[in-house]
């Protein structure tokens, strides 16, 4: 099981297009309690992304047993079909989050699983969880 971060793409983009480095920023959506409207704010390079993970819906998806059981069943069926054709099953999990579905694919017999996550703190967490 391989967990990749999309940061390699961004680094490559910056190397070939210096203007991209000047234009790239991280934005965070917030709710203004006074007006009740959502607003976008640019975060500086010292922003604590771990707080973003804590406020996200990752844990909701992890604890959704019905959803996860259906994904597991779907992966078992799909991987089984590929194997019955005599082919290796390769799974690409884009937006892996914690890596749960990637691990389910590996348990279902996938020959190779590649998990991609653009949110660097979550990609780091997925690597630790998978190891």
Indicate the pTM of the whole model: 0.63
Q: How confident is the model at residue 14 (pLDDT cuts 50, 70, 90)?
A: very low
Q: What is the mean pLDDT of residues 6-22?
A: 50
Percent of the chain with pLDDT over 90: 34
Is 24 a residue whose pLDDT tops 70? no
Percent of the chain with pLDDT over 70: 73
CA-based nearest residue to 1, from 107, 86, 121:
107
Q: What is the mean pLDDT of residues 23-49?
A: 75
Laid out side by side, the sheet with 2-5 consists of 2-5, 112-117, 90-94
């Amino acid at each position: 099981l391989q967990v990749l971060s999309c940061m390699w793409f961004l680094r490559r983009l910056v190397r070939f297009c210096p203007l991209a480095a000047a234009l790239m920023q991280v934005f965070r959506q917030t709710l203004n309690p006074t007006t009740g409207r959502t607003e976008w704010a640019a975060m500086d390079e010292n922003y604590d992304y771990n707080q973003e993970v804590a406020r996200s819906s990752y844990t909701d998806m992890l604890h959704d047993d019905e959803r996860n059981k259906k994904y597991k069943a779907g992966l078992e069926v799909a991987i089984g079909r590929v194997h019955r054709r005599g082919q290796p099953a390769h799974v690409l999990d884009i937006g892996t989050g914690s890596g749960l579905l990637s691990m389910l694919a590996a348990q279902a017999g996938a020959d190779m699983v590649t998990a991609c996550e653009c949110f660097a703190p979550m990609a780091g967490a997925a690597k630790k969880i998978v190891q």
